[in-house]
Structure 1
Amino acid sequence: MDFLFNFNILFYLFAYLAGSIPFGLLLANIFAGVNIKESGSRSIGATNVLRVVKETNPSLAKKLSIATVILDAFKGAIVLLIAMAMDASASTLWAIAVLSVLGHCYSVFLSLEGGKGVATGLGVFLVLIPIPTLIGAILWFVFGKILKISSLSSLLGLTGVVIAAIILNNGLDVGSNAPMYIIAFIIYYKHLPNIIRLIKGEEKRVI
């Protein structure tokens, strides 16, 4: 049982459990009295919070959506910041990042269902590769304003993070970009239904 008290194992469990907290679902339920798992896209992310809550309380919808983004990003970043303060290795930090995103996308509290990982990915990337992430965030904001399609702007922003990290040679200090690619793959994979709708021209705009 000693492995349960291993420094890395404890952080990995903490990262996955923190990532699993469905803040969007909780906020919408507590403050708007709606279950976003039963409405809209049924995702627990900020876009679905905005879309579903807006139907009954437009003035509250944007506030809850912003709060969801912040909390989903924070839950990924906080474990990393604690681990960094305790001098965790780069490989441990990247494993924490991957598990945080996995927790959000496959939450233990939602029978391994969850969100699409964008905000949680933003949080962990911001801590580990801040400059490429800021570039990606700018792209996300610009594309979001122009295209008004949340999924597409999110994927373009994510692509911007990955490309910027490669071009700037923003090293991950683990000898490989694999952890970054794994996080990107998880987020792309969770967006497959959106990608299919985009190809068909059926993806909804955020108004």
Structure 2
Amino acid sequence: MIKFLIFAVIAYIFGSLPCGVWLGKGVKNIDIREYGSKNSGATNAYRILGPKYGIMVLILDALKGYIPLYIASLFDIGGIYIILLGLVAILGHTFSFFLQFKGGKGVATSLGVFLFLMPKVVGVLVLVFILVVGISKYISLGSVICAGLLPILAYFMPVRDDATRLPLVVISLIVGIFVIYKHKANIQRLMEGKENKFNLK
């Protein structure tokens, strides 16, 4: 239990790292939370800082979820405990210690967590996300649809450890609902036809 608590602190710290905010201040001396959607995540970083830095934030935010779990697995932490560590990392991203317990919507960090726990599910979700965004041009719509599909695919598709399928489905449901809730303003704008479309340029 002590070992788990130590890694829970590590996972939270990793998840809390505000990569988009720090990168924005470092490369353009701006706080991306003051522009665009005012979010600290990769999508707003893409719009405000440009494609190169937006993709960089996406990768870094995903690594915040993947790395703590990978390190914990090297110390023989598995089962429900490593799943809980993933949840802690996601919570760190959305309630960052460095941002007065505010943060992003958890999509990229969830991507990193589930890439470790169930890579085949993530592969399918990435394809769905690309398809939805490619057709609709709405990143928020792709994120919400993938969040809804997450627990369903966790139930039916192969996962890293089949013995943990039930807790994975439960955590996936919790994370999916949480991500959808964090997109409530986007959903409202989508319904009103006011959501910003994503442009690769």
Same fold by TM-score, threshold 0.5 exceeded? yes
Distance 2:21 2:145 in 1: 25
- Match status 1:150 vs 2:139: yes
Alignment of structure 1 residues 19-34 onto 2, 5 Å: 19-34=15-30
Structure 2 gaps of 5+ residues are none
The answer to whether 1:45 aligns with 2:41 is yes
CA distance in 2, matches of 1:130, 1:169: 9
Tell me, in whole angstroms, the C-alpha distance in 2 between the residues paired with 1:137 and 1:40: 24
Match in the other structure for 2:170: 178
Identity across the alignment (%): 34
1:124 counterpart residue number: 113
If the length of structure 1 is used for normalisation, what is the TM-score?
0.89
Question: 170, 180, 196: which is aligned to 1:188?
Answer: 180
RMSD over aligned Cα atoms? 1.5
The answer to whether the 8 A contact 2:25-2:31 is kept is: yes
Match of 2:7 among 8, 11, 19: 11
What is the aligned partner in structure 2 of residue 72 from structure 1? 61
Give 1:163 deviation, angstroms: 2.2
* Separation in structure 1 between the aligned mates of residue 174 and residue 23 of structure 2, nearest angstrom: 29
What residue identity is the alignment partner of 1:164? Answer: L
Task: Give me the whole-angstrom Cα distance separating, in 2, the residues matched to 1:85 and 1:178.
Answer: 24
**TM-score computed with the length of structure 2 as normaliser:** 0.92
Contact 1:80 1:124 in 2 (8 A): yes
Q: What residue number does 2:85 align with?
A: 96
Aligned to 1:159: 148
Say if 2:148 and 2:177, in contact at 8 Å, map to a contact too: no
Gap regions ≥5 residues in structure 1: 54-60
Of stretches 178-187 and 168-177 in structure 1, the one that deviates more from structure 2 is 168-177
Write the letter of the residue equivalent to 1:12.
A
